[in-house]
Amino acid sequence: MSGIVVYLPQGSGDAGKESCANPVTLRLGPGQVARFGRGSAATPVELRLDDEAISRLAGEIRVVDDHWQLSNHSAHQSYLVENPEGAGEYLRVPPRRAAAPIPFEFSRVVLPTRRNTTVSFQVFAPDHVYLDPDDMGLQRGSRTVTAYSLDETSLYFLVLVALCEPRLRDVSPVAVPTTPQIVERLKGHPACGQLRARAVSSHIDYLAEEKTRISTPPEHEPGRAARRNGKREALVGLALRFGLVREAHLALLPPRTGAGDRQRKSAG
C-alpha cells in the first residue's frame, strides 16, 4: 500500500475560522500519522476541526502496510466512519478506542457537534491489495498484485464507465464526455441521485492521480481546461487499452433515454 489521501473540505467546522477557509489535503505513507481536533499552540494538529464540542486532540489516523487505523481520543464521544458507497454501511469507533482498523476504500469520518450539523473529513485508501487469481493458494516467493486496483462496485468506477461509454458504443472516435454530461448520464442511477459536478471531478482526479497514476501538469499552470480534457482522454485511453472497462460494464449504467439514443445516432 502506497498510502492514503485525507481530505478536509472547505468550510468544515466553524466557517468563520480562517483555518477552515480552504480545503486541506494530506498524503500519508505507511507509518505516518495525522492528528485531528480543535488544536492549540500546545496541541498542534494536521486537521483542524473548529467546534467547541470537539476535543483539542480528538484522534489520529495511522497508516499501516495494508490498511489505515483510527484512534478516538475522546473520553465521551463516539465517531462514525461511513462508507459513502456502501448503502449506509458504517463503523462506530467508541471513546478511547485505539487503532481501530478501517476496511473501506472510501471513508467519511464523522464527529458530532453541538449544532444541527456534523463535522467530517474524507479518507481515500487507493491501493487495496487484490491477489492474482492464478496464484490463489500458492506460496511461491513474493505476492503478485494487480497493477490497477479498481473496485467495480464503486462510484468512481461508474464515472469511469460513463467516460468510456461513447467509445465503447461507437467505432468512430467520439469526444470524451464533460462533467455536466456525466452528471446527466448517471442521474437515473439509484446511487447518483445527489451526484454533483464537483463530486464527478473529484472522482476523475482520484482515478487519474491515485488509481491509474497518470501524470498531469500542475493545475495552477496555464491551460487548465485543456489539461483536464487531456486527463480524461488519458484515463479513457488507458482503461480501454488494458480492458479495465469493457462493453459488459455498460450494464452498470442506467438505461439510456430516447433523447440520448437519438443524439448518438445523429452524431454517427
Same-domain status, 117 and 216: no
CA dist., res. 30 & res. 55, Å (int): 26
Percent of the chain's residues with pLDDT above 90 = 47
Tell whether 141 is covered by a domain.
no
Q: What is the pLDDT of residue 188?
A: 92
Q: What is the pLDDT of residue 117?
A: 79
CA-derived radius of gyration, the chain: 21
Task: Give the pLDDT band of residue 138 (cuts 50, 70, 90).
Answer: low
Amino acid 177 reads P
- Output DSSP code: residue 145: B
Same-domain status, 99 and 208: no
Task: Give the pLDDT band of residue 18 (cuts 50, 70, 90).
Answer: very low
Rounded average pLDDT over 39-50: 93
pLDDT top residue among 196 and 136? 196
Q: Say what the pTM is.
A: 0.66
**Final residue of a structural domain among 70, 102, 124:** 124
What is the torsion angle, in degrees rounded to the nearest 10, for the CA atoms of residue 236, residue 238, residue 242 and residue 243?
Answer: -10
Same-domain status, 88 and 171: no
Rounded average pLDDT over 86-105: 90
Task: Give the pLDDT band of residue 137 (cuts 50, 70, 90).
Answer: low
Same-domain status, 112 and 181: no
Task: Give the pLDDT band of residue 17 (cuts 50, 70, 90).
Answer: very low
